[in-house]
């Protein structure tokens, strides 16, 4: 028998009341944080795998078809096809504002693991792209970050988040360790295991989250409040355009994004700061081509020189996770003490300064461990800047629209960022892989500068905001 809308509502109320009444097991917070950290490690490793294995994937799957000189450029060009999966992900993410955080934490983690395993099985470009599309769909959501943001005390929110994020970032040490085990010297044939091992671990984390993690308390309270609104309250909320009482959704969040001055300028300025993302796409190739110069000077061809540089790059990546973790850990305390905006300026300057250090170092054959530390510091500085902007967006959005707004933000900001990505893509496909470093620095400087100026002039500080009482005004 088909249920009436009222019966469906009462059934959902009973479901969330039952969830609310559940007692947390002794030590719940300890294993909750442990599982969230493992999920975060899986997310970080899967996110960075493509970057840290870029030249190897290009060599193994693309170079035999397009040649070594343009392998990374063609890989990047074809990888834009996976952007369709990312676009679909933005439509999927707002569902967690209706159905809860927990199901999507589990599903996203499982999807990341399965996509990574698919890549490990790839023997040709189409299968690789299918696996890459799978990971592109499930990695942008960061449901573990929403869990942390909704559970942490406002006074220490950035500190707690940066501590967990830094710990998770250290997990990226797994990638160079696996590279050193399965890709010894110039033999690249074991690259599949570098993907397979993290894939299995991430699937295991999804299973643990399914059985052990409860729904976010902030979501349960907000959802019950929405469901218990009377018809008069719903009508009044609609009349006042009170998004703080509306059910989450992409359209509602998109309207709020452009109507609310704080959110509008946050999302637009983030779009220009995102130009710095170019550095996260090509750092491994920048290192590879930098260290390959010494072998090219000895008369090797490009493919042999890049293979010879693999050992140097693996050594550099050994300290990558340490540099990245440190530059994502300490800024959290700055953000809580100095404020979000000042910290964003400091970290953006760090992106540029550390990029120049690792770019110059790789091209001049500096100690690879030192170069790797600067490379990790650069990438960590960028990701923390992005996380900080995302935190400001969360702190400026009502709870019931928070996940939806974090889905809208990449759509709007990503449109601005696509200008930079498209420009770099065209240039490296014309000039070749060796031009990647110069094209990167020529892009990130103007974009991040414009974004920071906009943020400083137009965006209000959000430090200390009570996320449970954020209004849409």
Q: What is the distance of C-alpha 254 from the center of its chain?
A: 21
Task: For residues 118 and 373, give the distance between their C-alpha atoms in angstroms, rounded to a whole number.
Answer: 30
Q: How open is the CA angle 307-312-314, to the nearest 5 degrees?
A: 90
Long-range contacts of 417-426 (CB under 8 A, 24+ apart): 417/271, 417/274, 417/275, 417/277, 417/447, 420/274, 420/275, 420/277, 420/278, 420/444, 420/447, 421/277, 421/278, 421/281, 424/278, 425/73, 425/76, 425/77, 425/80
Task: For residues 345 and 451, give the distance between their C-alpha atoms in angstroms, rounded to a whole number.
Answer: 10
Task: For residues 397 and 244, give the distance between their C-alpha atoms in angstroms, rounded to a whole number.
Answer: 8
End-to-end, the C-alpha distance of the chain in Å comes to 43
Angle between helices 320-337 and 302-318 (to 10 degrees): 50
Task: For residues 264 and 455, give the distance between their C-alpha atoms in angstroms, rounded to a whole number.
Answer: 11
Picking from 118, 58, 61, 38, the residue whose alpha carbon sits closest to that of residue 85 is: 118
- Cβ pair 132, 281 in contact under 8 A: no
Element (DSSP H or E) covering residue 428: helix 402-431
Tokens 């890049």 belong to residue: 306
Residue count of the chain = 473
The tens-digit pLDDT sequence of the chain (473 residues) is 677 877 788 888 888 888 888 877 788 878 888 888 889 899 989 988 988 888 889 888 888 888 878 888 888 888 877 777 776 776 777 777 778 888 888 999 999 999 999 999 999 999 999 999 989 888 877 788 887 777 666 677 777 777 887 788 788 889 999 998 998 877 788 899 999 999 999 999 999 999 888 888 778 888 888 888 877 776 776 655 544 445 556 677 777 778 888 888 988 999 999 999 899 888 888 999 889 888 888 888 887 888 888 889 999 999 998 998 888 888 878 888 888 888 988 998 899 899 999 999 999 999 999 999 999 999 999 988 988 888 888 888 877 777 677 777 777 888 888 888 888 989 988 988 888 888 988 898 899 899 989 988 888 887 877 655 565 55
Q: What is the distance of C-alpha 345 from the center of its chain?
A: 20
Tokens 């995302």 belong to residue: 390
Backbone angles phi, psi at 267, to 5 degrees: -70, -40
Task: For residues 394 and 409, give the distance between their C-alpha atoms in angstroms, rounded to a whole number.
Answer: 10
- Cβ pair 40, 168 in contact under 8 A: yes
Picking from 116, 52, 50, the residue whose alpha carbon sits closest to that of residue 79 is: 50
């Amino acid at each position: 028998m088909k249920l009436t809308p009222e019966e469906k509502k009462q059934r959902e109320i009973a479901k969330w009341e039952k969830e609310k009444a559940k007692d947390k097991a002794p030590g719940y917070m300890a294993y909750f944080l442990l599982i969230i950290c493992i999920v975060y490690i899986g997310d970080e490793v899967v996110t960075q795998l493509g970057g840290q294995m870029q030249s190897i994937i290009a060599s193994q799957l693309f170079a035999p078809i397009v040649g070594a000189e343009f392998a990374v450029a063609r890989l990047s060009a074809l990888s834009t096809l996976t952007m369709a999966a990312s676009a679909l992900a933005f439509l999927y993410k707002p569902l967690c504002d209706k159905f809860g955080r927990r199901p999507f934490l589990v599903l996203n983690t499982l999807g990341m693991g399965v996509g990574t395993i698919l890549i490990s099985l790839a023997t040709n470009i189409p299968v690789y792209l299918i696996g890459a599309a799978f990971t592109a769909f499930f990695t942008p959501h960061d449901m573990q970050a929403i869990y942390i943001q909704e559970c942490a005390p406002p006074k220490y929110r950035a500190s707690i988040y940066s501590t967990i994020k830094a710990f998770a970032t250290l997990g990226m040490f797994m990638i160079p360790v696996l590279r050193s085990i399965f890709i010894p010297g110039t033999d690249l044939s074991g690259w599949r295991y570098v993907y397979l091992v993290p894939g299995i671990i991430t699937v295991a984390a999804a299973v643990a989250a399914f059985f052990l993690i409860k729904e976010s308390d902030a979501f349960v309270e907000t959802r019950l409040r929405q469901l218990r609104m009377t018809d008069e309250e719903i009508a009044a909320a609609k009349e006042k355009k009170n998004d703080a009482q509306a059910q989450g959704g992409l359209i509602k969040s998109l309207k709020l994004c452009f109507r609310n001055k704080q959110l509008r300028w946050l999302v637009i300025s983030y779009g220009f700061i995102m130009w710095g993302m170019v550095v996260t796409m090509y750092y491994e190739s920048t290192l590879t081509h930098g260290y390959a110069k010494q072998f090219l000077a000895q008369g090797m061809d490009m493919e042999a020189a890049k293979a010879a540089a693999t050992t140097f790059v693996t050594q550099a990546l050994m300290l990558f996770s340490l540099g990245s973790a440190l530059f994502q850990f300490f800024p959290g305390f700055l953000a809580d003490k100095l404020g979000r905006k000042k910290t964003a300026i400091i970290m953006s300057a760090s992106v540029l300064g550390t990029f120049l250090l690792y770019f110059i170092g790789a091209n001049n054959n500096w100690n690879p461990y030192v170069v790797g530390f600067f490379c990790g510091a650069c990438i960590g500085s960028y990701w923390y800047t992005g996380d900080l902007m995302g935190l400001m967006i969360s702190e400026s959005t009502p709870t019931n629209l928070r996940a939806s707004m974090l889905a809208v933000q990449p759509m709007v900001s990503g449109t601005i960022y696509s200008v930079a990505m498209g420009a770099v893509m065209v240039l490296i496909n014309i000039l070749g892989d060796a031009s990647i470093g110069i094209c990167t620095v020529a892009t990130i400087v103007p974009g991040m500068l414009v974004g920071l100026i906009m943020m400083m002039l137009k965006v209000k500080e959000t430090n200390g905001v009570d996320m449970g009482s954020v209004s849409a005004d």
